[in-house]
């Protein structure tokens, strides 16, 4: 039975249509019903094309369309963009417009080999060629990503290079791309991307051919339109011509593949700029209940690049629960959440951890293995199989005295891996020589000089020799690994030397997580740790198989999927929004892209959503003398969800209430809540409650249970600073409404009356107006200077020369 919104869409006739569909809105059922309605009216199925984003979606749609239509019905073709491009390319080759080619896509091995040859040929120096040879997988991963991005558009590769934000060291990609294409054309081979790239480049340069191919179809129905790229849109427009009607379905809020060339603007403006159309919406989700729908709606409302579409839980959707949890160092809370859901009767296969990066998956997998909870890693490597973890296990064998018991070939390989791991920037053939000499003697072989080594490289080798010799004397596994990494500054070197900043961050974070896991074990003997790790490795494929296995994957890979229970680990200000390095400010476009990714991840849940974050117990804030690192702070997105309000309103809605407790009107939070209630509760009434601080202005007076009366002296995207009489404390946004309360006027008046005037009549926290810098808050005052925080930043003045007007 279709909803009213769905039925309106199926009745659309004449002209183009854009359908905005929230997560779980039943868009597949709606598209099936629309196609069948057109067929019943007599439209020739051969003149209809249904285009899906990927193979899985194509098969799912085809299956549902066949069931709905009946076994004997003649149905239109359902294709992916790549399949449609493949058919077009083969037709053009058959007719002599394109050179003939082998339609079997290039395999990964051959593609990597030819890309590596192209990179080596484009490298201008022997040193760069050696660097590519030594770190070829990193170079290949980054270059293949560039090739895919360059083939998502008809623009020159130089444009993709600039828009992709690639650093200068990758400038050779442009020449390597040309060399790879030259080989590909000569070999008559294609990749999946070339099924679109080759025919579209041909058509773009041949208007007569474009006209010949156009106007052969009457209707295109296109799913996941927010995820298409320039070249896919070009092909769609070419084939549609002036004849075809287009019905595109998507959600700009779920555009998360911008690294592949997708843009939310395809849904927001590009389609409308090209075609006059009628817009429709599917605003009801059948996947989750009011609490999750409200939290998601309040989060995504902070984006500017979006349609004003509000996701509303349908009447038939079951209630869902959102739980915010403090993430502890040992990750035990991950296992506890899974065990709690298992106790309620859910199979492990109904649970999924969605990580922003693969580095976050390491502590999750280790915690589950430690508790015997079966799990599977979807799309990535298991933690104990990762190269950096294998090196740490080799170091544990050195500490346990078990290294020498291995055969010489195994020792040589593990020593070579250790040397590579240590970021020495020495050619691999030289490192293999050192590994062989260590096997024959000991670590003193690292003191031997080589003509090809710089002074820096020799000093690094000597430092490594010292650290390895000391490691053999260490009896505490966690302490030994941490000392090894710290003495060689390996975490920073991994980040700084990585070809891709995110890859470097992932490696460093994975190493840190593993060492933290080892350090938390009760028995710190290296041999005991190795035995435990061997047992965990054996458990990887075992466990309670009747209940399946918990899925561990990334947020990006979760698109199009759903689970009854979704768990989002490590929602810190470092990982969400993700930022390589430790920057405290984000560009708006990146911030909105990360918010969309968070929105997609949380809306994969059906029954329960767990949000794990650090710093939730920091009720006393942090001293501003030691500002917390981003990984210690909860994600600012958690504050944007307004989870307390979502929980309160959802409970009242489900209880059948007609009066609701709302924050004061005027803010974004109140606006979303009011629109939501308008949609689900006829003739509701509001009880305005100012139960939270929200986002106080500079100079606002607040009270804290420990520090008493204070005044806001600084605000940024992550939180605010409050100046109390005895200290200045930083509070993350998520905790502001939970630990700080607006100070009553009587308390403020009494405090001001008793404080008297300070030098120049300015006090910390005062708000003033300056002729040049405008409004600001006083940060500090001493005998000689006054520091003020303006919108332009902190400024310090001589007190005897300072002039400004006190506002509050």
* Binding annotation for ATP: 21-28
Q: Is 607 helix (H, G, I), strand (E, B) or coil?
A: strand
Nearest residue to 603 (alpha-carbon basis) of 334, 337, 333, 322: 322
Q: What is the CA radius of gyration of the chain?
A: 30
Residue 425 vs residues 422, 461, 485: alpha-carbon distances, Å: 9, 11, 16
- Asked if 132 and 120 count as a contact pair (C-beta separation under 8 A), the reply is yes
Strand order in the sheet with 245-250: 78-80, 48-52, 219-222, 245-250, 16-21, 277-282
Q: List CB contacts of 38: < 8 A, sequence separation 6 or more.
A: 48, 219
Backbone φ and ψ for 729, nearest 5 degrees, come out as: -125, 140
Q: Give binding residues as ranges.
A: 21-28
Which residues in 527-566 are b (16+ Cβ under 10 Å) and which e?
bebbebbeebeebbeebeeebbbbbbbbbbebbbeebbbb
- Asked if 102 and 194 count as a contact pair (C-beta separation under 8 A), the reply is no
Nearest residue to 710 (alpha-carbon basis) of 774, 777, 663, 644: 777
Cα end-to-end distance, the chain, whole Å: 61
**Residues 645, 652: Cα–Cα separation, whole Å:** 11
Cis peptide before 695 (omega within 30 of 0): no
Q: Which residue has the tokens 């768990």?
A: 567
DSSP H helices, 500-616, are 501-519, 526-539, 588-602
133 Rama sector, left if φ>0, alpha if ψ -120 to 50, beta otherwise: alpha
- Strand pairing partners for 720? 715, 731
Residue 439, token pair as written in the block: 């096997």
- Asked if 688 and 645 count as a contact pair (C-beta separation under 8 A), the reply is no
Residue 713 vs residues 193, 472, 700: alpha-carbon distances, Å: 53, 52, 8
**Residues 382, 552: Cα–Cα separation, whole Å:** 10
Q: Which residue has the tokens 């009242």?
A: 652
Backbone φ and ψ for 293, nearest 5 degrees, come out as: -60, -40
3-state secondary structure 124-182: CCHHHHHHHHHCHHHHHHHHHHHHHHHCCCCCCHHHHHHHCCCCHHHCHHHHHHHHHHH
DSSP notation for 428-466: HHHHHHHHHHHHHS-GGGGG---TT--HHHHHHHHHHHH
């Amino acid at each position: 039975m279709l909803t009213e919104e769905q039925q309106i869409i199926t009745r659309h006739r004449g002209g183009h249509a854009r359908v905005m569909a929230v997560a779980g809105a039943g868009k597949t059922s709606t598209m099936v019903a629309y196609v069948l309605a057109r067929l019943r009216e007599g439209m020739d199925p051969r003149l209809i094309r249904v285009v899906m984003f990927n193979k899985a979606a194509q098969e799912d749609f085809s299956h549902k369309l066949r069931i709905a239509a009946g076994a004997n019905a003649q149905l239109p073709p359902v294709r992916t963009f790549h399949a449609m491009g493949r058919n077009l390319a083969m037709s053009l080759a058959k007719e002599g417009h394109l050179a003939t080619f082998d339609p079997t896509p290039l395999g990964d091995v051959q593609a990597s080999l030819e890309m590596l040859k192209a990179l080596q040929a484009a490298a201008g120096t022997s040193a760069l060629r050696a660097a590519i040879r030594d770190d070829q997988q990193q170079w290949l991963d980054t270059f293949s990503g560039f090739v895919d991005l360059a083939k998502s558009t008809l623009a020159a590769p130089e444009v993709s290079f600039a828009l992709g934000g690639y650093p200068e060291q990758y400038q050779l990609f442009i020449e390597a791309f040309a060399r790879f294409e030259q080989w590909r054309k000569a070999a008559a081979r294609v990749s999946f991307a070339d099924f679109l790239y080759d025919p579209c480049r041909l058509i773009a340069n041949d208007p007569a051919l474009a006209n010949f191919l156009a106007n052969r179809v009457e209707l295109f129905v296109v799913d996941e339109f927010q995820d298409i790229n320039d070249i896919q849109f070009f092909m769609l427009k070419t084939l549609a011509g002036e004849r075809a009607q287009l019905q595109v379905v998507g959600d700009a809020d779920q555009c998360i593949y911008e690294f592949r060339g997708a843009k939310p603007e395809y849904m927001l403006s590009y389609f409308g700029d090209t075609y006059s159309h009628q817009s429709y919406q599917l605003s009801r989700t059948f996947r989750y209940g009011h609490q999750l729908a409200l939290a998601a709606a309040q989060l995504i409302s902070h984006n500017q690049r979006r349609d004003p579409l509000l996701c509303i839980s349908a009447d038939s959707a079951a209630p869902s629960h959102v739980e915010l949890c403090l993430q502890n160092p040992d990750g035990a809370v991950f296992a506890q959440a899974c065990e709690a859901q298992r106790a309620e009767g859910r199979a492990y296969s109904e649970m999924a951890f969605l990580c922003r990066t693969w580095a976050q998956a390491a502590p999750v997998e280790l915690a589950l293995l430690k508790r015997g909870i079966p799990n599977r890693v979807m799309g990535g490597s298991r933690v104990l199989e990762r190269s950096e973890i294998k090196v740490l296990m080799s170091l544990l064998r050195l500490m346990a005295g078990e290294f020498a018991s291995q055969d010489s070939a195994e020792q040589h390989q593990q020593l070579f891996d250790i040397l590579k791991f240590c970021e020495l920037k020495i050619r691999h053939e030289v490192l293999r020589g050192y590994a062989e000499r260590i096997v024959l003697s000991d670590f003193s072989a690292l003191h031997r000089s080589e003509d090809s080594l710089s002074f820096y490289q020799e000093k690094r080798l000597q430092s490594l020799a010292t650290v390895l010799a000391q490691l053999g004397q260490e009896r505490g596994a966690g302490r030994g690994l941490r000392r090894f990494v710290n003495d060689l500054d390996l975490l920073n070197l991994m980040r700084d030397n990585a070809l891709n900043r995110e890859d470097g961050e992932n490696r460093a974070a994975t190493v840190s997580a593993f060492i933290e896991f080892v350090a938390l074990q009760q028995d710190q003997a290296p041999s005991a740790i190795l035995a435990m790790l061997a047992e965990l490795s054996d458990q990887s494929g075992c466990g309670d198989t009747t209940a399946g296995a918990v899925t561990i994957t990334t947020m990006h890979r979760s698109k199009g999927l759903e689970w009854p229970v979704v768990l989002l680990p490590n929602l810190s200000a470092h990982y969400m929004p993700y930022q390589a390095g430790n920057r405290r400010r984000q560009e708006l476009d990146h911030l909105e892209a990360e918010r969309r990714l968070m929105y997609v991840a949380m809306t994969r849940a059906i029954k329960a959503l767990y949000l794990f974050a650090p710093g939730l117990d920091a009720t006393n804030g942090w001293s501003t003398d030691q500002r917390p690192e981003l990984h210690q702070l909860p994600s600012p997105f958690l504050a944007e969800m307004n989870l307390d309000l979502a929980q309160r309103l959802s409970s009242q809605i489900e209880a059948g209430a007609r009066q609701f407790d709302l924050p004061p009107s005027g803010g974004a939070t109140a606006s979303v809540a009011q629109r939501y209630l308008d949609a689900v509760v006829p003739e509701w009434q509001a009880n305005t409650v100012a139960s939270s601080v929200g986002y106080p202005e500079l100079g606002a007076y607040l009270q804290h249970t420990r520090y008493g009366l204070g005044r806001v002296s600084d605000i940024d995207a992550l939180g605010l600073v409050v100046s109390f009489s005895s200290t200045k404390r930083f509070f993350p946004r998520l905790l502001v409404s939970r630990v700080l309360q607006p100070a009553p006027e009587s308390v403020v008046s009494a405090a001001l009356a008793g404080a008297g005037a300070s030098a120049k009549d300015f006090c910390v926290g005062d708000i003033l107006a300056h002729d040049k810098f405008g409004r600001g808050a006083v940060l500090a005052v001493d005998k000689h200077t006054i520091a003020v925080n303006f919108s332009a930043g902190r400024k310090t003045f001589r007190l005897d020369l300072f002039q400004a007007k006190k506002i509050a």
